[in-house]
Amino acid sequence: MQHFVIMADTYLDPINRKFADAAAEGPPLYTKTFQEARDILEGIQDYKTAADIKTEEIKVTVKGEDVTTVIFRPAGAQGTLNMIFYTHGGGWILGSPTAHGALMEDFARQTGAAVVFPYYTPAPEAQYPVQFEQVYGVLQHFVTNGDKYNLKVDRFGLAGDSVGGHMAIAMTQLAHSRDLPSIIGQIVLLYPVTDTHSKSETYKIYKDGPYLSEKTMDWMIPAFLPNEEDRKLALTSPLQFAPDEVLAKFPPTTVFVSGADPLIGEGEAFGHRLQQLGVDAAVLKADGQVHDFAMLAPNITEPPDTTFTPPQVISAYILKISTITSQFTLFLPGKQTSCEMEDHSNLRSLITPSLLKQIAEAYLPLPKTEPVDFSEAQSPDFAANFAEVCKTSTARDALLGLSRLSPDGTLPSNEDLDLMSFLPPPASPEFPLQCFGLQLLLDQASRVLLEGIDGRWQVAYFGPLARLLAGQWRALPEAQQPYKRHRWNDDVGATSFSYWVALQVMWAAPFLHAEDLESQQIGLDLSEELRQAVEAHTNTRDPYRATRDATLKDDLFFLREVVKGPPKAAGEPSLSMTSWTFWWCIILDSHWPIIERFGRYPYRNGHFGRESTEAEKKWLDDIGHFSEASPEIAQRIREDVEKGRWTPLGEE
């Protein structure tokens, strides 16, 4: 009999201690043949399909070979289900739809989603990179053929245990590098392998277990990665070798680590690395649990000559799985039965702090504490950078999620949708930057991302939502208002005055895009506040003040002048802060006369499905039909308006 050496200060709860002792009664797995080891795990699990879960086995052909794949879904489920794509653990050697069956059933049962389980060829019968290619091929098949299996695959969840977590990380990298035509909404990693090249300190602490030992890992890794050089790759040791720019694009990730496990160190370190890169990542530790605690669902028949108590294990198992699967309720749009505005849990996994910070910082990608070169800030390269960040981030997903709140385009009220609830408390240091990011997401990212028929959503839904948010933050006490100078000087780390100035235009933008004079007046007030701040800071006077009254009466000024950009003052080697600011202030002012004359922006008539008046048609001719929808798109929107419908965002 060989028992694991359990250190005196290693805490295991009574159930896990009994399980570890029972598992130690026999010889270690690494002394067995690969097939014998598989048989042992299958025997422990003794899985039988539950009556409330329906399973479907299919064959997916990947590079000429069939990969058995099992779909687990709630038996009574109807319609299209969300998808969780699960990559199983077992040291690349063990694991199967039966060994992991109970866990897959619980994922399906508690999330209401369908769980897709690819049964890749085990090692050493196949070795790296075969398993990765098989699993990615299956993933690609389901993303491409979701309708065939009644699955919603535009956004899906990804999960895996142990080396399955290792594979889930690899699939995320491959999804980015190979442009998978779908989005991973959230990742759940259970005690993952993240480094096959080196060993963390917890390998020493739990060298002999309990349950999983260093020798067992030393037996497993070479079976999958016999070539040591292959252990130094981003896919095989992401903790050490995956580039920052790759990991920074990971979706919200939850890492569970066991309480007593050689893999604790690398699991925690991977989660921490994601956090440092700005990913919404949580690291949760299951105290007193051994490796595989989520997967183990032993046969309820007590093994002879042991103190093993399976009913207790099963009770604890249910509680653990409830905690794990609850992570997935955050990202699965469609789990609720209606688009009621009261439930925004799905949106909270889309409108994340990291996304808002990413959008905010992409608008002006310069050091916050240094003076701004306004010639650089006005550069088309900055606009291109902002557009690229919008397109490569999850901004479009966030907009899609918001559009699902109101399929008919009805704008929510303040009571129905508190946009401030997606932000930190107003008094917190994080509030100004994240609030700026959310406003940019609604007002500017939507302009970048929504084209064609989707343009109606931008002008008639997201623009007003940005104004709804702006009205909410403007109603705060002055000390908490996010655009105020003191918030950026104190809360955001002594931001330079010029950096703060460069952001101010976007705070006013939602009001100036509105088609009512009350909102326009707020925009004028913010413009004047900025003008006065710069005048006081530089001890200068805005030369445009002399012509401001005339500008406020010139409905052609905005579209005539905005394309020219801010002019440098005579003798300026580069564009100064004052020249930039004063030009922008008069541009902001020049929205007023358009709304005062027409009561709306005529160049938006097509996107609103409105007919232009004769006066508007002449005005549009005068400005060269700037920013109008194409005749084809305008006609389609008019047809939607006449039929009282909206083409769903993202349908094309």
Which residues are catalytic, by number?
A: 162, 261, 291
| C-beta of residue 303 within 8 angstroms of C-beta of residue 19 | no
CA 214 to CA 626: how far, in whole Å?
A: 67
Cα 403 vs. chain centroid, distance in angstroms? 16
With left for phi above 0 and alpha for psi between -120 and 50, is residue 514 left, alpha or beta? beta
CA 100 to CA 91: how far, in whole Å?
A: 13
| 130-144 vs 163-177: helix crossing angle, rounded to 10 | 60
> Which of these, 361, 349, 436, lies nearest to 394 by C-alpha position?
349
CA 525 to CA 530: how far, in whole Å?
A: 9
What is the rounded (10 degree) CA torsion for 591, 597, 599, 603?
A: -60
Q: How far is CA 296 from CA 161, 175, 578, 630, in A?
A: 11, 30, 67, 59
Sequence-distant (6+) residues with CB within 8 A of 635 are none
Sequence-distant (6+) residues with CB within 8 A of 375 are 574, 575
Longest dimension (CA), the chain: 97
Q: How far is CA 3 from CA 21, 26, 258, in A?
A: 7, 8, 20
The two tokens of residue 644 are 């009282």
